[in-house]
Structure 1
Amino acid sequence: MTNILFAARSEKWEDYEGPLRSALDAAGLDYRLSTELPAAEVDYIVYAPNSDVQDFTPFTRLKAVLNLWAGVEGITGNETLTVPLTRMVDEDGLTQGMVEWVTGHTLRHHLGMDAHIVNPDREWDATPPPLSADRPVTILGMGALGQACAKALTALGFPVTGWSRTQKELPGVICHAGDDGLRKALTDAQIVILLLPDTPATLNLIDAETLALPARGAFLINPGRGPLIDDGALIDALDAGQIAHATLDVFRVEPLPEDHPFWSHPRVTVTPHIASTTRPGTAARVIAENIRRGEAGEPLLHLVDRDAGY
């Protein structure tokens, strides 16, 4: 029998228990699933980094930790974790949610919807927006989420440029890598979308220098991670008109403190980390497949490179 510990906030158990049991049954596994198991008997941990489990030393027969979140910055530095770690890559739930959110806000800025929706002076401005072919978009981060968003936006006619730490290839997308590639990717972009992980290499990547590279009046969309952005540099760029508007879903401190200037800035939209979340129904199938693979001696999916941080 395979022993599976669910280690997340207690309120999540009600959401996940049914989907996980259904997925594990469908995978043909003989298992015991619980929020309470003797540490020495646990084979797999279905894990959220904000759970009470922080010391993995007692889990002497542990085979893998299966993270429920796409982000793993809250666990990669844990020195007591020595077994394989996987992150959540869920095309049917997490990825699709991100594609919908990114596409929606890209179109919102591209079409100038804010000016039409909030128009207290009843100004009649019939100036049409440009077509998508004339609105270059840059996506920083070309992992599963970035590539899915790039595909969706190219399908709508946007010219998309992508940047990642290592070189990627995606049909219809100009892909860059490395420091020089970052400058190329950002230069003259009119919409910049951040989908990078939170690692030491990405901390404050969006600073005064990089914010000066897009076209004047560009839009910034961040559903990735808060520490990617130097907040003060972004406010300066907004005040100067270099960045026309920033739509931010993630922040260095969450919930965003009430006194943070992003709340009151007229060119900032704050959303409460809702760009994409793990959906229990689809995520459970990803978890069950990895446990099936582990028990069958097959390679696990979505393994985390602990050195790279994702």
Structure 2
Amino acid sequence: MALLIYSPSHPVADWAAAIRALAPDLDVRLWPEVGDLAEIEVALVWKPPAGLLQSFPNLKLMQSFGAGVDGILADPNIPRHVPLARVVDGNLTVGMTEYVLLHVLHFHRQVAAMQQNQRNGKWQWLPPVDPGQRIIGIMGMGTLGSHAAQKLLGLGFQVASWSRGLKAIDGVTSFHGDEHLEGFLRLCNVLVCLLPLTPQTRGIICRRTLSLLPRGAYVINAARGGHVVDDDLLHALDSDWLSGATLDVFNEEPLRDGHPFWTHPKVTVTPHNAADSIPAHVAPQIVDNIRRLQTGQPILRLVDYTRGY
């Protein structure tokens, strides 16, 4: 069985080494050294170019490097008769929670104001805010959102959530569905986006939804760049409706030279590194799915094409 590995972002040689260590019998090939296209039965991919996956006539499994699959589903020619699986990585979950806590606390503890005071040589006491008076709103209550919510509750914050379907978590004020989005947004002092990117969630952080947040709210997007309408976010920042934003993902990556986010005084830019999977941690999942394919067992962590995740 031949496995193709393609990614413009991951150290593919490291992933190949981790997989070969667990399955030395696998024929692992790194793009563009594909060989006979008909021999590729499994493709481990991230943001493949349009038409790549369709070019393998005997493809039996598509496997994502991570939890997100929007970069794969963006291909209009994806062979939808072939199962697509994603990764669920506990270490990635911890990394995302670290990222969320870091930037929630950066806002909550007024770090930007203290840094500005330092640059100005100004000694100024800033009154603290009771975390119990802050409502952190999380959009997307899958594995990542649920873990972050529990840790935020442990720090004394109030936590609200919004998801497409009902998700009930102890201590979290839960909202779901389009009809309850406005009520959720009006509560959020900090809005954290951890949604999957689907046609329904693309552009969800826009002028209308940002206007529903309380004045002075802060936005953190660690999901996908397509969730944000850039010009609308910039308008909300420039009009002083928002206190600031932390962005790890962008509509175009890498973020282009000269984009206003680079130099905006209220924006923190990070290079899509909120949470990354380590090959040695994730390779066992990938190899397990390949073995399942070989032995006719059910593939794990399958993506529902109709839902997009």
Cα-Cα RMSD: 2.2
Aligned to 2:196: 197
Q: Which letter maps to 2:263?
A: S
Structure 1 runs of 4+ aligned residues shifted over 6 Å read none
Aligned to 2:3: 4
Q: String of CA shifts for 1:85-116, please: whole Å, max 9, x gaps.
A: 01222112x22221111111111111111222
Q: Any idea what SS the aligned residue of 1:88 has?
A: coil
- Cα 1:8–1:236, aligned 2, differ >3 Å: closer, same or farther? closer
Q: Any idea what SS the aligned residue of 2:219 has?
A: strand
Q: Relative contact order, CA 8 A, sep 6+: which one is greater?
A: 1
Offset at 1:187? 1.0
CA distance in 1, matches of 2:300, 2:214: 39
8 A contact 2:51–2:78 mirrored in 1? no
8 A contact 1:4–1:31 mirrored in 2? yes
Offset at 1:255? 1.6
Matches within 5 A, 1:143-222: 143-222=142-221
Indicate yes or no: 2:28 matched with 1:33: yes
Q: String of CA shifts for 1:26-84, please: whole Å, max 9, x gaps.
A: xxxx5333333533233322222236971424332x32111113322222244341210
Aligned to 2:107: 109
Q: String of CA shifts for 1:109-156, please: whole Å, max 9, x gaps.
A: 111112223322233332332232221100111122222221221222
- Cα 1:22–1:172, aligned 2, differ >3 Å: closer, same or farther? farther
Aligned to 2:129: 130
CA distance in 2, matches of 1:11, 1:302: 21
Q: Any idea what SS the aligned residue of 1:286 has?
A: helix
Structure 2 residues without counterparts, runs of 5 or longer: none
CA distance in 2, matches of 1:299, 1:171: 32
Q: Which letter maps to 1:64?
A: L
The total of aligned residue pairs comes to: 303
Aligned to 1:50: 48
CA distance in 2, matches of 1:23, 1:107: 40
Aligned to 2:98: 100
TM-score norm. by structure 2 comes to: 0.89
Indicate yes or no: 2:63 matched with 1:66: yes
More moved, 229-238 vs 7-16 = 7-16
CA distance in 1, matches of 2:211, 2:50: 43
Aligned to 1:270: 269
Offset at 1:299? 2.6
Q: Which letter maps to 1:33?
A: V
CA distance in 2, matches of 1:127, 1:205: 34
